[in-house]
């Protein structure tokens, strides 16, 4: 049983695998699908009688349709049983989804509270400490106290200072050195704990008596893809899981704890990353752990993924204080299966997370809104021209970011020393970040503080003492220079940082770049507050990077509480998406999936690819050798166990852990399908009770001496004709969540082939990059 989602699959994941390009010591980081080639071991396989191999050998998949039938059988059993006991059990079963959603939201908020408070305190240690309580952040230490009036090289550029907060040094150079030292220390800690989650995905073991290799031929040692489970935002992996694939160990308690601790230190370094993406991963881990308590989720991959979709909403809810935006984010950006009941449970989960987080009050403001603003100045029709410019700039930023980050990941992270020593890469990026950001007061602090400072309205009397407002009140071009420097620095540093082996997200850096550019543009539009353009620019830049639309517009509203500026944000977001799509078809999470090599099939984008092809389903038929290996002619007398053992070994030699055997009669007419997991269970576990020469019955009519595997056979596999359009197969896989589909010949109905999900995904990847 998988320890990731509880799927009952005795042979965990390896599929039909072409291995991504590796170095001599096996690349620890999955490379682009474009770089695939056959390893020496796989070339040796090709010289034998072993059939073809497909990509994604380290992943297995679930069958949504079969899980639906399994859940229906469970419900019928509960509701047809008489008595009060089963009536109560049935009622509890119906309420379990709502109970789980509420618990997930509550626990996610508790974890977010701890991360927020710890990160605020740790990041401020780069500047100084609170003399009354070193564990307090600068804001908490100085809350309600008289502001510090003394001005020197450093305090003139830091807000919220008081006598209780002691700077390490008031001189610029020593403060700079201490800042860099603490950032490097935090980078080491963040990367060090992330390495604790290094894990190889399961892969197929060679059969002990494989016929694919002679006695004097060295057999390849199966090694799965190496992943750092807590690295990155986790969103590409979650999208892969929710689409029906399995990544064992990605959502366990260890990853949750490491992700939370690593995010605290990673954000505290000041690198161009945020904790909002990791919050989505953390909430999904909480969802998996909580839902695993309930048997109906623990033993059903489809039901589990429904709860994980709801859990994702609470992650963004606590990240931005945006409960509605969190629900829409899960629907628009992450989930592939989102029925109405999932929407309602995501709503409850996100609501509970927001309520609990507001009560815990990690920011000390008593408000859920993270960057509350009250500009009070309405925009005029001519300002739409500025909003359009912000949208265009955001689209260019996002499109360039996606292209350049992909190139950077392939080039820089292709060096052996970077692959071998990910901590070194982190330290180099931390050093470059601190050296570039500390001299600029606008981007010296962490990303969320940068956004908060740039959104400020200098017309508000309480905000006029802020450093930004003081600079805008002065005459001269120094402040404009800091803004230009900040935009360029954020673009470069975000490109090289995204993908580093620490918990990290790209949402806050994109908001930073957009807010800086919007504030810069606002220096020449004096009729309204430049903070308004910072707000709209932040949304535009994030739209260009992530390609979010509806959910982002709602998030920007919930983030600031500014209802009046929803329309400008919508204009800029839509233009940014159009512009970014024209430059780069893939958003940041799609690029990450390409770099990491995770399988994913999005119906909308995949359909656009298929519609450009003049092909049909017979393009997906496996080679004849493969079909010979996976086809079993089942006579009326039963199948010899030796025949099935041979077929089983052939599947193992090819790594087809996600495949199975097509059962036909003497006329090659379909009789059923036996998945490899069930085949291994039947021959390995059940077969121990029977002699080696026992007949195997795959259909009804088994005697006491026969090994009966009929209960493991799918007698009604879905089929499609070979001449059907490719769009038919894509719709069936995407909307029904199939694991396999049988291809029949037109007219005769004879079996021509079988398509597994990995074959379809690999085919889509191939034609996409042709």
Report how far residue 508's alpha carbon sits from residue 441's, in angstroms, rounded to the nearest whole number. Answer: 18
List all residues 6 or more positions away from 52 whose beta carbon is below 8 Å from its beta carbon: 16, 622, 623, 625, 626, 654
pLDDT at position 119: 93
Report how far residue 162's alpha carbon sits from residue 153's, in angstroms, rounded to the nearest whole number. Answer: 16
Specify whether 718 is located in the same domain as 651. Answer: yes
Contact between 210 and 649 (Cβ < 8 Å):
yes
Enclosing domain of residue 642: 607-768
Residue 549 lies in a domain: yes
- Number of separate helices (H) and strands (E) present in the chain: 29, 15
Segment holding 228, helix H or strand E: strand 226-228
User: CA quadruple 732, 738, 739, 743: dihedral positive or negative?
Assistant: negative
Residue 255 lies in a domain: no
Residue 258 lies in a domain: no
Specify whether 595 is located in the same domain as 612. Answer: no
Residue 546 lies in a domain: yes
Specify whether 485 is located in the same domain as 401. Answer: yes
Specify whether 681 is located in the same domain as 547. Answer: no
Contact between 87 and 80 (Cβ < 8 Å):
no
Residue range 511-521, pLDDT digits in tens: 999 999 999 99
Contact between 82 and 249 (Cβ < 8 Å):
no
pLDDT at position 156: 52
CATH number at residue 757: 3.10.580.10
* DSSP-assigned beta bridge partners for residue 505: 274
Report how far residue 515's alpha carbon sits from residue 542's, in angstroms, rounded to the nearest whole number. Answer: 10
How many separate domains does the chain show? Answer: 2
pLDDT at position 219: 45
In 3-state terms, what secondary structure has residue 596?
helix
DSSP code of residue 632: E
Specify whether 420 is located in the same domain as 443. Answer: yes
CATH number at residue 539: 1.10.3080.10
Specify whether 583 is located in the same domain as 687. Answer: no
Last residue of a domain, one of 557, 576, 600: 600
In 3-state terms, what secondary structure has residue 176?
helix
| 3-state SS, one letter per residue, for 246-269 | ECCCCCCHHHHHHHHHHHHHHHHC
146 vs 164, 203, 463, 495, CA distance in Å?
Answer: 10, 62, 15, 41
Residue range 58-101, pLDDT digits in tens: 788 888 988 998 889 888 888 888 888 888 988 888 899 999 99
Specify whether 658 is located in the same domain as 578. Answer: no
Ranges of residues in the chain whose predicted pLDDT is under 70: 1-55, 57, 146-160, 203-224, 461-465, 475-476, 655-657, 701-702, 769-770
Report how far residue 12's alpha carbon sits from residue 7's, in angstroms, rounded to the nearest whole number. Answer: 9
Specify whether 591 is located in the same domain as 611. Answer: no
Residue 105 lies in a domain: no
Specify whether 592 is located in the same domain as 613. Answer: no
Residue 359 lies in a domain: no
Contact between 463 and 528 (Cβ < 8 Å):
no
pTM of the full predicted structure? 0.87
pLDDT at position 762: 85
Report how far residue 88's alpha carbon sits from residue 78's, in angstroms, rounded to the nearest whole number. Answer: 10
Last residue of a domain, one of 563, 580, 600: 600
Last residue of a domain, one of 600, 616, 650: 600
Specify whether 544 is located in the same domain as 664. Answer: no
Specify whether 506 is located in the same domain as 644. Answer: no
Residue 407 lies in a domain: yes
Residue 691 lies in a domain: yes
pLDDT at position 223: 58
Specify whether 479 is located in the same domain as 616. Answer: no
């Amino acid at each position: 049983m998988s320890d990731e989602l509880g799927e009952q699959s005795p042979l965990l994941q390896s599929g039909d695998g072409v291995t991504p390009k590796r170095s001599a010591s096996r690349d620890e980081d999955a490379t682009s699908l474009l770089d695939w080639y056959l390893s020496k071991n796989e070339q040796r396989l090709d010289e034998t009688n072993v059939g073809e191999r497909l990509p994604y050998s380290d992943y297995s998949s679930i069958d949504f349709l079969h899980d639906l039938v399994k859940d229906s059988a469970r419900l019928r059993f509960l509701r047809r049983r008489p008595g009060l006991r089963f009536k109560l059990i049935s009622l509890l079963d119906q309420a379990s989804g709502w109970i789980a959603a509420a618990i997930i939201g509550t626990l996610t908020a508790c974890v977010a509270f701890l991360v927020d408070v710890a990160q605020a305190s740790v990041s401020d240690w780069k500047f100084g400490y609170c003399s009354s309580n070193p564990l307090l952040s600068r804001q908490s230490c100085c809350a309600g106290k008289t502001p510090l009036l003394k001005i020197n090289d450093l305090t003139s550029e830091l807000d919220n200072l008081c006598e209780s907060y002691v700077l390490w040094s008031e001189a610029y150079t020593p403060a700079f050195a201490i800042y860099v030292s603490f950032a490097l220390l935090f980078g080491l800690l963040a990367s060090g704990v992330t390495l604790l989650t290094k894990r190889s995905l399961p892969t197929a073991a060679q059969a002990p008596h494989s016929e694919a290799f002679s006695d004097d031929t060295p057999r390849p040692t199966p090694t799965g893809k190496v992943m750092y489970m807590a690295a990155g935002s986790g969103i590409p992996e979650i999208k892969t899981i929710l689409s029906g694939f399995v990544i064992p160990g990605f959502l366990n308690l260890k990853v949750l704890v490491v992700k939370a601790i690593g995010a605290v230190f990673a954000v505290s370094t000041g690198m161009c990353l945020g904790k909002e993406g990791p919050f989505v991963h953390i909430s999904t881990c909480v969802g998996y752990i909580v839902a695993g308590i309930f048997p109906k989720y623990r033993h059903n991959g489809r039901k589990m993924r429904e709860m994980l979709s709801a859990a994702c909403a609470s992650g963004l809810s606590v990240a931005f204080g945006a409960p509605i935006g969190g629900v829409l984010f899960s629907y628009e950006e992450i989930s592939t299966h989102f029925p109405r009941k999932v929407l309602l449970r995501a709503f409850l989960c996100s609501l509970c997370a927001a309520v609990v987080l507001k009560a815990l009050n990690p920011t000390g403001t008593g408000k859920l809104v993270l960057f509350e603003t009250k500009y009070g100045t309405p925009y005029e029709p001519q300002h739409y021209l500025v909003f359009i410019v912000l949208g265009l700039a955001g689209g260019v930023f996002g499109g360039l970011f996606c292209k350049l980050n992909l190139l950077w990941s392939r080039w820089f992270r292709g060096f052996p020393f970077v692959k071998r020593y990910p901590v070194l890469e982190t330290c180099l990026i931390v050093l470059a970040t601190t050296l570039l950001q500390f001299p600029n007061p606008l981007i010296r602090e962490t990303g969320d503080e940068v956004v908060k400072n740039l959104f400020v309205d200098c017309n508000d009397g309480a905000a006029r003492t802020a450093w930004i407002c003081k600079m805008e009140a002065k005459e001269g071009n120094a402040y404009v220079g800091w803004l230009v420097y900040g935009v360029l620095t954020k673009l470069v540093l975000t490109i090289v940082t995204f993908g580093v082996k620490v918990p990290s997200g790209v949402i806050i850096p994109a908001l930073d770049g957009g807010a800086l550019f919007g504030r810069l543009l606002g220096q020449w539009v004096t009729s309204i507050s430049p903070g308004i353009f910072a707000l709209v620019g932040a949304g535009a830049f994030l739209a260009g990077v992530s390609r979010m639309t509806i959910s982002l517009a709602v998030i920007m509203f919930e983030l600031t509480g500014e209802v009046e500026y929803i329309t400008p944000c919508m204009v800029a977001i839509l233009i940014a998406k159009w512009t970014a799509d024209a430059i780069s078809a893939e958003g940041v999470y799609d690029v990450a999936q390409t770099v990491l090599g995770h399988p994913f099939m999005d119906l909308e984008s995949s359909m656009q690819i298929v519609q450009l092809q003049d092909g049909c389903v017979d393009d997906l038929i496996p080679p004849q050798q493969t079909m010979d290996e996976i086809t079993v002619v089942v006579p009326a007398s039963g199948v010899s166990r030796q025949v099935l053992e041979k077929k089983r070994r052939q599947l193992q030699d090819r790594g087809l852990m996600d495949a199975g055997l097509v059962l036909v009669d003497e006329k090659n007419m379909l009789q059923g399908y036996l998945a490899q997991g069930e085949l291994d269970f039947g021959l390995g576990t059940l077969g121990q009770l029977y002699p080696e020469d026992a007949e195997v019955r795959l259909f009804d009519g088994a005697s006491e001496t026969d090994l009966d595997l009929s209960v493991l056979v799918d007698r009604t596999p879905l089929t499609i004709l070979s001449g059907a359009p490719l769009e038919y197969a894509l719709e069936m896989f995407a909307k029904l969540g199939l694991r396999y589909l049988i291809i029949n010949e037109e007219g005769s109905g004879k079996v021509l082939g079988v398509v597994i999900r990995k074959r379809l995904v690999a085919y889509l990847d191939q034609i996409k990059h042709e």
